[in-house]
Amino acid sequence: MNSWTEAMRAGDFARAWAIADRDLAALAATPKHTGPRHLQRIWRGEELANKRLLVRCYHGLGDTMQFLRFMPALRMIARSVTVWCQAELLPLVERVEGVSLAIPLHDGTPDTEFDVDIEIMEVPHAIRAGRGTVEMRAPYLTLPPGGAAAGRLHHFQKVAAGLVWEVGAWDKRRAIPPTLLRRLAGAGRTLYSLQRGGGAEPLPETIARDISTPDIVALGHLIRQLDLVICVDTMVAHLAGALGCEAWVLLHADCDWRWPISGPRTFWYPSLRLFHQRTQGNWDDVIEEVRQMLLARAELTRRAG
């Protein structure tokens, strides 16, 4: 697994798929659709060409968004591509190039006919995606009209930044205590909370105005109105990146395989800037680096105004 992780981080996809081939051979006798959804391996090496494909989205919302980039390449091989995805993502998924049909994910069997099924995170391995297919060269998610908050969120001569600090149950090391984010407030900056429901520990309105919404389309429109988003490794980072919006992503020292272990950039999303912990569990240096960059950004905004 470590070798696969290293290959993915390095963009050495030929090596990553060779390692995945080895794992696939070991799965040959294993029944499909057993165990927790997010651990299921669905594809068994079946031929995809000219087949009706069902793409199952069994991981998180961010995972689905990240791997939707492969749908155009998949559709070039298949007769049709049906994406069985989280219901809240349907308005986005049905607009993605290469998707023939998007249907809501639920327990039980899918309400469609298909020849071959595959989990969405298995697609790049199945199509032998190279660097040119993996790298994001243009935004691949688009938003349907509507859902935006009334008015613009920009403030004259101020940087408008959205904040997200909490994460789901998987790997709580990604979360940041919201008290640390108070350090980002100050002159030349207007902060907004994008944390769903304000989070378990909300920021005071005097620090960040709560504009959060559970509607992902509305959230996408809000992100587009901001100058940037400052967030932890969660769905909002993928939404901003896939829309081509600027986001600063704060990562713990042992970050997930999809992010480089160091450095500010990722080939997955060119509009993201990454900030890494130097010491496991210590967010102070990360917040200070973000604060200094935000100060510089605010000064540029003031001068431009």
Class of the CATH-defined domain 2-134? alpha beta
What is the pLDDT of the chain when averaged over all its residues?
Answer: 94
- Each domain of the chain, given as residue ranges in start order, spans 2-134, 159-304
Distance CA 102, CA 227 (A): 31
19 phi, psi to nearest 5 deg: -65, -40
For the cut 90, the answer to whether the pLDDT of residue 206 exceeds it is yes
Question: From the CA atom positions of the chain, what is the Rg in Å?
Answer: 20
CATH class, range 159-304: alpha beta
pLDDT digits 0-9 by tens, 211-229: 999 999 999 999 999 999 9
Position 149 pLDDT exceeds 80: no
The pLDDT value given to residue 150: 42
Span of 38-42, 51-55, 114-118, 163-167 with lowest mean pLDDT: 38-42
Cα separation, 200 vs 289, whole angstroms: 25
Condensed to tens digits (0 to 9), the pLDDT of residues 252-268 reads 999 999 999 999 999 99
Q: Which helix (H) or strand (E) holds 209?
A: strand 209-210
Q: What is the pLDDT of residue 254?
A: 93
100 SS3 class:
coil
| Euclidean distance between CA atoms 96 and 142, whole angstroms | 8
Are 2-134 and 159-304 equal in CATH topology? yes
Which pTM does this prediction carry? 0.95
What proportion of the chain, given as a percentage, has pLDDT over 90? 86
Which whole number is the average pLDDT over 30-57? 94
- Indicate the pLDDT class of residue 290, thresholds 50, 70 and 90: very high
Cα separation, 72 vs 146, whole angstroms:
26
Q: Which two tokens stand for residue 296?
A: 């510089």
